[in-house]
C-alpha cells in the first residue's frame, strides 16, 4: 500500500508544489515568460489546454446538451460602451486600493485585512479575527474607505517590506479599456468585458425569439473576461485575463427564489459528480447583497490557501434587463402566453471561472505517495474524464516488433481518445511520467502480446495491473472514460 503524503504538507508547501508541477508538466506557464512575465496573465501548455477543454466540455454538456430549455451563445468581447453604464460597471465595478508610500507597492485594502484575519486565526485569536471580519464587512457594505484605512492602522498591518506608511484608500475601477477605430477618427473608448453575462442579457430577446424558448429558459456562454485586478496573486486563482462559464436562467417574477434553490443544489451536484470529496465544499451565503440581487451565494472549495469561491449563484432580479431597456430605449419584455401578459423576466445566474475550476482540479489531484521501496511517486489523480491524456501506449522495448505492435494499437485508439505513445526510458520511469501528467491508463506491450494479443493495462491510482486481450481495450475505455456516466449523477 502506498502512503499518501498530500495531507501532511502544509497548505503553503502543497500550493508551491502544485504551481511548479503545473509548469514542469506543461499545464500552465507564466505568460511572456522570456520577457519576465506579465502580472497575473498565464498561458496553458499542452496538457493544460486539454484539461481546460475537458472542463469546459463537461460544463457545456451538463448545462446545454442536457437541458432542452438551455441554449448556448458566443457573444463578442467588445460591446457598446453604454452596456457597461447600464450594468453599473462604469460607476461601481471597483475595488478599494491602498498604496504603500515607502515601497510604492499597491494593495487591495480588504485583502490586507483578510490576511490579518487569517493571521489572528492561526494564532488562536478567534475573537479578534471575528471582530475584524465584521468591521471590514461593514466598511465594504457602506463604502466606508476611511474606515478601511483605520482598520489597517489600528491592526498595525504592514506591507511585505514591513512598512506601515499608507496612503488613503481609493476606489479603482477594474475594467480595461481601449480605443475603437483609429484615434484620428476620435472614436470612443470601449471596454474589454469584465463578465460574459452582459452579452447574454443584451441578446436575451434575439435568442428567445429565434429559439422559440418559453420561460423558464436559460442561455449559457463560455468566454474570456478581463479584470484589472489589483491584487493578482495565488497563481491562476485571480487573473487579469480569464474565462467564465455563465448561465442566465430567465424566470417569471416571483419564481426566482425557487429557481435559485434549484440551481444552487444542481451546481453543487455538478462538482460532486467529479468525485471530489463533499467536505471540500461549502456554500457561503452573501451576508450583504449587491443592490440588484435578492439572494446570492458562493460555492467554495478548500484550496490549499483556505476555503475560497469557485462559483457564484446569484438571483439578479430584473435589474440588468430593466437597465438595458432603459439605456437602449428598446423593449426587453417577454410575452408569457400562459399568463397572457408582458413582463421583464427575473434572472438566476450561475457563474464559474474555468481557470479557477482548473486550479481546483489540480490542487485536488496533486498527490505524493511513498511507495514500499521508499521512493516517492507524484501522481495527479485527475478525474479520468477530465484527464488531458487518457491512455499511454508503451512498448516494453523498441525491438522485436514491440514498437510496431504498440504503434498499431495507438493508431487504433487515437480516434476515440487522446493517446500518447512513449518508447523512451525504462518502463518504470515511463509509468511515473504518466502518473505525473495524470494519465488514467497505461497499456504495455510485451513479447507475450505478439503471441496471444494480450497487453498489460495499468491503472494510475491503484497501480493495479491486469492482463487483457487487445479486443477488450475499446470497450473498457469507452465505459470508463464516458462523461455520460458522471453526467447522469447530476
Ligand atoms: N456574472 C457574475 C460574475 O461575474 P463573479 O463572482 O465576479 O460573478 C464569477 O465571477 C466567477 O468568475 C468567480 O466565481 C470565479 O470563479 C471567476 N472569476 C472572477 N474573477 C476572476 C479572476 N480575476 N480570475 C479568475 N477567475 C475569476
Largest CA-CA distance found in the chain, in angstroms, rounded: 80
Contact (CB, 8 A) for 7 and 378: no
Residue 378 lies in a domain: no
Residue 167 lies in a domain: yes
Band (pLDDT 50/70/90 cuts) for residue 92 is confident
Please say if the pLDDT value at position 1 is more than 70.
no
pLDDT at 304: 96
Task: Give the range of the structural domain holding residue 44, as residue numbers without chain letter.
Answer: 3-92+175-364
Shortest-distance atom of ligand 1 to CA 244: 12
pLDDT in tens, 23-58: 999 999 999 999 999 999 999 999 999 999 999 999
pLDDT at 93: 92
Q: Taking CA 246 as the corner, what is the angle to CA 484 and CA 382, rounded to the nearest 5 degrees?
A: 45
Shortest-distance atom of ligand 1 to CA 232: 23
The 3-state DSSP class for residue 98 equals: strand
Please say if the pLDDT value at position 186 is more than 60.
no
- Give distance in angstroms: CA of 317 to centre of ligand 1: 19
* Average pLDDT score, the chain: 95
CATH number of the domain that residue 15 is part of = 3.30.930.10
**Domain count for the chain:** 3
pLDDT in tens, 195-208: 999 999 999 999 99
Query: Bigger pLDDT: 267 or 181?
Result: 267
Residue 233 lies in a domain: yes
The size of the chain, in residues, is 490
- Give distance in angstroms: CA of 353 to centre of ligand 1: 6
Residue 134 lies in a domain: yes
What letter would DSSP give residue 80? -
* Alpha carbon distances (Å) from 157 to 3, 166, 305, 400: 41, 10, 20, 68
Kindly state the helix (H) or strand (E) to which residue 205 belongs, with its residue range: helix 204-211
Query: 40 and 76 share a domain?
Result: yes
Please say if the pLDDT value at position 460 is more than 60.
yes
Residue 374 lies in a domain: no
* Alpha carbon distances (Å) from 280 to 23, 378, 432: 25, 21, 27
Across the range 248-259, mean pLDDT stands at 98
* CA–CA dist 74, 200 (Å, integer): 9
- Give distance in angstroms: CA of 475 to centre of ligand 1: 39
Q: Are strands 391-395 and 419-421 parallel, antiparallel or unpaired?
A: parallel
Band (pLDDT 50/70/90 cuts) for residue 73 is very high
Shortest-distance atom of ligand 1 to CA 309: 14
Band (pLDDT 50/70/90 cuts) for residue 370 is very high
Among 321, 347, 364, residue at a domain's last position: 364
pLDDT in tens, 279-333: 999 999 998 788 789 999 999 999 999 999 999 999 999 999 999 999 999 999 9
pLDDT at 283: 98
Shortest-distance atom of ligand 1 to CA 238: 24
Query: 143 and 289 share a domain?
Result: no
Residue nearest atom 25 in ligand 1 by C-alpha distance: 238
Ligand 1 shell residues, CB under 6 Å: 195, 197, 227, 229, 238-239, 242, 244, 246, 309-312, 349, 351-353, 355-356
Q: Are strands 189-191 and 376-380 parallel, antiparallel or unpaired?
A: unpaired
* CA–CA dist 49, 399 (Å, integer): 34
Residue among 94, 195, 297 whose CB has most ligand 1 atoms within 8 A, to mutate: 195
> Which residues neighbour 107 within 8 Å (Cβ) at sequence distance 6 or greater?
97, 98, 99, 100, 159, 230, 231
* CA–CA dist 109, 99 (Å, integer): 9
Residue 370 lies in a domain: no
pLDDT at 182: 64
pLDDT in tens, 137-159: 899 888 899 999 999 999 999 99
Please say if the pLDDT value at position 15 is more than 70.
yes
Please say if the pLDDT value at position 184 is more than 60.
no
pLDDT at 5: 64
Shortest-distance atom of ligand 1 to CA 195: 4
Contact (CB, 8 A) for 47 and 30: no
The 3-state DSSP class for residue 160 equals: coil
Residue 168 burial (CB count, 10 A): 11
Among 349, 364, 379, residue at a domain's last position: 364
The 3-state DSSP class for residue 235 equals: helix
Query: 63 and 183 share a domain?
Result: yes
Residue nearest atom 19 in ligand 1 by C-alpha distance: 353
pTM for this prediction: 0.93
pLDDT at 32: 96
* CA–CA dist 458, 475 (Å, integer): 16
Kindly state the helix (H) or strand (E) to which residue 134 belongs, with its residue range: helix 126-141
Residue 436 burial (CB count, 10 A): 17
Query: 397 and 462 share a domain?
Result: yes
* Alpha carbon distances (Å) from 20 to 2, 438, 460: 23, 15, 21
Q: Are strands 376-380 and 391-395 parallel, antiparallel or unpaired?
A: unpaired
Among 142, 158, 173, residue at a domain's last position: 173
CATH number of the domain that residue 431 is part of = 3.40.50.800
- Mean pLDDT check: name the lowest of 101-105, 378-382, 416-420: 101-105
Q: Taking CA 122 as the corner, what is the angle to CA 118 and CA 125, rounded to the nearest 5 degrees?
A: 90
CATH number of the domain that residue 154 is part of = 3.30.40.230
Across the range 355-380, mean pLDDT stands at 96
* CA–CA dist 432, 368 (Å, integer): 12
Amino acid at each position: 500500500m502506498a502512503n499518501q503524503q498530500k495531507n501532511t504538507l502544509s497548505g503553503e508547501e502543497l500550493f508551491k508544489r502544485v504551481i511548479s508541477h503545473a509548469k514542469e508538466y506543461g499545464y500552465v506557464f507564466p505568460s511572456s515568460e522570456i520577457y519576465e512575465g506579465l502580472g497575473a496573465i498565464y498561458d496553458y501548455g499542452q496538457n493544460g489546454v486539454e484539461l481546460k477543454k475537458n472542463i469546459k466540455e463537461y460544463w457545456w454538456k451538463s448545462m446545454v446538451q442536457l437541458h432542452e430549455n438551455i441554449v448556448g451563445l458566443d457573444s463578442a468581447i467588445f460591446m457598446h460602451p453604454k452596456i457597461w453604464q447600464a450594468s453599473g460597471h462604469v460607476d461601481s465595478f471597483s475595488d478599494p486600493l491602498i498604496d504603500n508610500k515607502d515601497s510604492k507597492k499597491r494593495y487591495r485594502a480588504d485583502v490586507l485585512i483578510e490576511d490579518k484575519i487569517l493571521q489572528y486565526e492561526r494564532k488562536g485569536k478567534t475573537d479578534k479575527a471575528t471582530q475584524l471580519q465584521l468591521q471590514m464587512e461593514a466598511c465594504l457594505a457602506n463604502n466606508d474607505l476611511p474606515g478601511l484605512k483605520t482598520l489597517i492602522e489600528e491592526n498595525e498591518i504592514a506591507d511585505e517590506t514591513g512598512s506601515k506608511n499608507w496612503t488613503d484608500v481609493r476606489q479603482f475601477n477594474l475594467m480595461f479599456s481601449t480605443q475603437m477605430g483609429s484615434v484620428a477618427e476620435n472614436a470612443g473608448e470601449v471596454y474589454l468585458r469584465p463578465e460574459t453575462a452582459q452579452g447574454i442579457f443584451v441578446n436575451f430577446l434575439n435568442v428567445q425569439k429565434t429559439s422559440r424558448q418559453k420561460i423558464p429558459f436559460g442561455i449559457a456562454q463560455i468566454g474570456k473576461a478581463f479584470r484589472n485586478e489589483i491584487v493578482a496573486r495565488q497563481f491562476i486563482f485571480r487573473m487579469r485575463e480569464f474565462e467564465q462559464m455563465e448561465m442566465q436562467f430567465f424566470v417569471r417574477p416571483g419564481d426566482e427564489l425557487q429557481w435559485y434553490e434549484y440551481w444552487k443544489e444542481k451546481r453543487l451536484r455538478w462538482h460532486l459528480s467529479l468525485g471530489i470529496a463533499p467536505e471540500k465544499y461549502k456554500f457561503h451565503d452573501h451576508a450583504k447583497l449587491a443592490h440588484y440581487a435578492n439572494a446570492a451565494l458562493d460555492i467554495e472549495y478548500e484550496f490549499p490557501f483556505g476555503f475560497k469561491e469557485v462559483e457564484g449563484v446569484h438571483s439578479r432580479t430584473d435589474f440588468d434587463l430593466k437597465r438595458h431597456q432603459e439605456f437602449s430605449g428598446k423593449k426587453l419584455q417577454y410575452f408569457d402566453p400562459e399568463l397572457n401578459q408582458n413582463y421583464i423576466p427575473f434572472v438566476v445566474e450561475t457563474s464559474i471561472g474555468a481557470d479557477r475550476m482548473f486550479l481546483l482540479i489540480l490542487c485536488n489531484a496533486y498527490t505524493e505517495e511513498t511507495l514500499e521501496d521508499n521512493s516517492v511517486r507524484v501522481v495527479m489523480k485527475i478525474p479520468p474524464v477530465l484527464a488531458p491524456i487518457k491512455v499511454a501506449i508503451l512498448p516494453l522495448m523498441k525491438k522485436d516488433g514491440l514498437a510496431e505492435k504498440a504503434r498499431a494499437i495507438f493508431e487504433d485508439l487515437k480516434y476515440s481518445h487522446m493517446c500518447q505513445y512513449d518508447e523512451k526510458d525504462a518502463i518504470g520511469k515511463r509509468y511515473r511520467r504518466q502518473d505525473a501528467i495524470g494519465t488514467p491508463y497505461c497499456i504495455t506491450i510485451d513479447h507475450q502480446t505478439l503471441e496471444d494479443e494480450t497487453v498489460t493495462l495499468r491503472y494510475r491510482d491503484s497501480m493495479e495491473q491486469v492482463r487483457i486481450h487487445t479486443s477488450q481495450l475499446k470497450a473498457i475505455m469507452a465505459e470508463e472514460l464516458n462523461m455520460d456516466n458522471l453526467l447522469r449523477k447530476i
